[in-house]
């Protein structure tokens, strides 16, 4: 299997609900005006707490510092697992179990935090740039590791990294690019990641929320993005709940949760929204997998998790993997969110309840 | 002839070039999201100096005070001249001469300032609300005056006004509405207004600028506004000149002038842009008159004119009227702008030069 370190240096930021007004200008530019920005990696996820914006340094330049903007201090690099030249979501997909054991587990053993961003096309595993040499030395037994440099895939070995990545020549001339894929949600199991470190013998069992909304994971031809611009602007910027504060209030309004994710990464668009939001868009432009399945959310964390909280997602990903249950996984600034097929939500709920009973009685 | 006092209470504001970033959020809402606002009168005009925003009180609520927002202190009411039940731009249009003599002249005699806003559909003559009783008593000899109240046209007489407008019953049940009209630019002469007061025996002759751009005055089916949203957003919010200050610099960059006007008034859209901006829009959605004529601009004022500057536009409107030359007229926060047919620009230029020679030698 191949592991690609993509050619993006990312920042993970959060814009407060009240502060969105101040960031409408750069965000609309980054979403809709590709000719006016060199940003190639942009993701915006609205949750009840805030807006998580993950973007490359070109995009980050557009965000003026303010009290409404929180910035995680690290540079993050997106990794992408590829099987035999195909992206993980292809027919030879890397499932939860496999990536958990081959990537997440080993990285956790080395205290490497990861930030997950699933999209319609693929799953990005973000790691801190400062952890890169550890990542490479940890994973090079299992993977052929490549670093994308200006559209080319350059093989990387840990001894190169310790000497500085830039010393790699451009011997890998395959010009590797990630293809889009419609096949993801037809699969039974997918990679699932976590932003945990190694977890203790008795890990904290965090509360989970299972809101009632049904979600869909969709894509869109970038050329048709202008056609949904006003709807997308409306949903992203103007459909805020009346709640005025920017604090999490996990025990209210969560029969249904506000959750909407848009990403535009290397020219590919991915949208995660609930069916209520979906109804606002023209049915003929957004596409999902042929099965058109719906997903339910498991939100992890009663209080914001931070970026160094340990062992949280492993508690969910391991049973999901054991049950061979597909999942998208989206980390945000405050919480983690797993999306599982609607038909599996009962068994997932049972599993989570059982887990909490055992934690309480131990 | 009829004069209608429309049912809008308007504010005239200016957003600095640097401040636009802070007002993108409310402006996009006012332009594109009709379901989210009760604003019914909105006009945004970009000039090299600033953005002039004229909008009703519902729209004005959306603009948070800041150092970047200037607000003229008055409430302004839009007037509309109608001939025999048709708007002035219909076949029985009120030309420059006629409106100059019947409206502008008499109001100037009474020291009533006006702020003109020509659109594709019609011409709005804005007067200060505090001047309304003077306006009515001045114009009621010439016009049947109606005040629009919740979609109905209520006859108004000056004795009613002195007793308070609200004492008018709703006896005028004609439910008068301004129809859109494509016929405007087919006409030879149009109303032209001015923000002058009565002018002195020896009025100041202000510099004029005649930039090289060719302008077109266009409209758009409001239902197709979403189709041009990203282009309109790009042109309005992101195509700023590199100039960073918000001061007028009339002697530079004015071979061509930055001028773009968008209005959405009672559901009708009007756009004034130069041919360079026009090329960015899909040709099949914006429409102009069948003759598709182009217009040249005369910008009046070397320094910002303010709202009580006197006799400026009369210097232009009177000769235009004498020459039976069509004109649109758009006042902005800092300057006035007349648009005349391209084929008339030579004679207009000659006339203006002659006028300035005479002023210099007198």
pLDDT, tens digit (0-9, with 9 covering 90-100), for A292-316: 789 999 998 777 776 665 556 666 7
Q: Is residue B81 left, alpha or beta, with left meaning phi > 0 and alpha meaning psi from -120 to 50?
A: beta
Yes or no, beta carbons of B233 and A36 under 8 Å apart: no
pLDDT exceeds cutoff 70 at A357? yes
Higher-confidence residue: A203 or B264? B264
- Considering the entire predicted model, what is its pTM? 0.81
Among A201-210, B318-327, B350-359, the minimum mean pLDDT is found in A201-210
**DSSP assignment, residue B333?**
S
**What is the pLDDT at residue A98?**
57
Characterize the bridge pairing of strands B144-149 and B2-5. Answer: parallel
Distance between CA atoms of residues A332 and A53, nearest Å: 8
| CB A339, CB A295: distance < 8 Å | yes
Cβ atoms B41, B117 nearer than 8 A: no
Q: CB distance B229–A230 less than 8 Å?
A: yes
Question: Per-residue pLDDT for A250 more than 90?
Answer: no
* The pLDDT of residue B311: 56
- Phi, psi of A57, deg, nearest 5: -65, -30
**Torsional class of A239: left (φ above 0), alpha (ψ -120 to 50), beta (otherwise):** alpha
Question: Do A230 and B225 make contact, defined as CB atoms within 8 angstroms?
Answer: yes
pLDDT of residue A261: 97
Picking from A33, A226, A237, the nearest residue to B25 by CB comes out as A237
Which of B227, B212, B239, B328 minimizes the C-alpha distance to B283?
Answer: B227
Say yes or no for a CB contact (<8 Å) between A230 and B226: yes
User: How many Å apart are CA A313 and CA A195, to the nearest integer?
Assistant: 7
Task: Tell whether the model's pLDDT for residue A170 goes beyond 50.
Answer: no
C-alpha Rg value of chain B to the nearest Å: 19
Burial of A183 (0-12, 13-18, 19+ CB in 10 A): middle
pLDDT band at B171 (very low <50, low <70, confident <90, very high): very low
Q: What is the pLDDT of residues B174-197, one digit of tens each?
A: 333 333 333 322 222 233 333 333
CB contacts of B21 in chain A (<8 Å) are 25-26
Neighbouring residues of A176: CB distance < 8 A, sequence distance ≥ 6: A4, A146, A148, A152, A153
Q: Which residues of A touch B (CB under 8 A)?
A: 20-22, 24-26, 28-29, 32-33, 36, 225-227, 229-231, 233-234, 237-238
The rounded distance, in Å, linking the Cα atoms of A121 and A123 is 7
Q: What is the pLDDT of residues B225-266, one digit of tens each?
A: 999 999 999 999 998 743 333 444 444 455 899 999 999 999
Do you know the residue count of chain B?
362
CB contact under 8 A, B25 and A20: yes
Q: Which residues contact A234 (CB under 8 A, 6 or more apart)?
A: A280, B32, B33, B36
In this prediction, residue B325 has a pLDDT band, given cuts at 50, 70 and 90, of confident
Residue range B115-149, pLDDT digits in tens: 989 899 888 999 999 999 999 999 999 899 999 99
Q: How many CB atoms lie within 10 A of CB A238?
A: 17
Q: For residue A29, give the nearest of B29, B231, B238 by CB distance.
A: B238
The mean per-residue pLDDT over the stretch B98-116 comes to 79
Check A231 against B234: CB less than 8 A apart. Answer: no
Q: Is A71 helix (H, G, I), strand (E, B) or coil?
A: strand
For residue A92, name the pLDDT band (cuts at 50, 70, 90).
very low
pLDDT of A45 reads 97
How many contacts does A have with B, using Cβ atoms within 8 A? 58
pLDDT surpassing 60 at residue A87? no
| Contact by Cβ (8 Å): B90, B118 | no
Residues A19-25: what's their mean pLDDT? 95
A305-356 per-position pLDDT tens digit:
766 655 566 667 777 777 788 888 899 998 989 999 999 999 999 888 888 8
- The partner residue sitting opposite B229, judged by closest CB among A20, A29, A229, is A229
Cβ neighbours of residue A35 closer than 8 Å, sequence gap 6 or more: none
Mean pLDDT of A194-199: 32
Q: What is the mean pLDDT of residues B33-40?
A: 93
Chain B residue numbers with beta carbons less than 8 Å from the beta carbon of A39 are none
DSSP-derived 3-state class of residue A28: helix
Place of tokens 């308070």: B164
Q: Which of B24, B26, B225 sits opposite A28 (nearest CB)?
A: B24
3-state secondary structure of B215: strand
Q: What is the pLDDT of residue B251?
A: 41
**B152-155 and A260-265 strand pairing:** unpaired
Which of A9-13, A276-280, B350-354 bottoms out in mean pLDDT, i.e. has the lowest?
B350-354
A33-57 b/e (C-beta count within 10 Å ≥ 16 → b): ebeebebbbbbbbbbbbbbbbbbbe
A107 φ/ψ angles, rounded to the nearest 5 degrees: -65, -40
Q: How far apart are CA B217 and CA B349, in angstroms?
A: 21
d(CA A302, CA A300): 7
Residues B356-360, mean pLDDT to the nearest whole number: 81
Q: What is the mean pLDDT of chain A?
A: 79
**Residue A309 has what pLDDT?**
56
Give the residue from A229, A235, A282 with the most B CB atoms within 10 Å of its CB, the best one to mutate: A229
- Residue of B26, B227, B233 lying closest to A32 (CB–CB): B233
């Amino acid at each position: 299997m191949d592991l690609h370190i993509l050619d993006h240096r990312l920042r993970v930021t959060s814009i407060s609900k009240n502060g969105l007004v101040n960031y409408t200008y750069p965000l609309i530019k980054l979403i809709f005006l590709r000719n006016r920005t060199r940003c190639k990696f942009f993701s915006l996820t609205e949750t009840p707490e805030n807006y998580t914006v993950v973007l490359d340094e070109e995009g980050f330049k557009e965000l003026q510092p303010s009290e409404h903007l929180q910035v995680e201090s690290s540079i993050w690099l997106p990794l992408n697992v590829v099987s035999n030249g195909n992206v993980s979501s292809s027919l030879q997909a890397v499932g939860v179990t496999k990536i958990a054991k081959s990537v997440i587990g080993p990285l956790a053993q080395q205290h490497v935090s990861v930030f997950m961003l699933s999209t319609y096309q693929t799953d990005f595993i973000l790691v801190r740039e400062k952890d890169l040499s550890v990542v490479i030395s940890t994973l090079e037994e299992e993977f052929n590791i490549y670093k994308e440099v200006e559209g080319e895939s350059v093989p990387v070995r840990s001894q190169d990294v310790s000497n500085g990545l830039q010393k790699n020549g451009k011997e890998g001339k395959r010009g590797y690019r990630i293809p889009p894929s419609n096949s993801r949600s037809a699969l039974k199991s997918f990679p699932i990641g976590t932003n945990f470190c190694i977890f203790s013998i008795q890990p904290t069992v965090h509360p989970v929320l299972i809101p009632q909304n049904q979600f869909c994971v969709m894509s869109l031809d970038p050329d048709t993005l202008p056609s949904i611009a006003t709807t997308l602007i409306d949903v992203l910027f103007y459909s805020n709940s009346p709640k005025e504060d920017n604090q999490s209030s996990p025990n209210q309004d969560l029969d249904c949760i506000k959750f909407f994710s848009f990403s535009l990464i290397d020219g590919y668009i991915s949208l995660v929204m609930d069916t209520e939001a979906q109804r606002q868009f023209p049915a003929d432009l957004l596409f999902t997998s042929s099965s058109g399945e719906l997903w339910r959310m498991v939100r992890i964390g009663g209080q914001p998790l931070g970026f160094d909280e340990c062992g949280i997602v492993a508690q969910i990903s391991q049973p999901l993997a054991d049950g061979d249950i597909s999942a998208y996984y989206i980390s945000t600034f405050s919480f983690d969110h797993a999306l599982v097929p609607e038909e599996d939500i009962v068994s997932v709920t049972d599993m989570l309840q059982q887990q909490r009973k055992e934690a309480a009685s131990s």
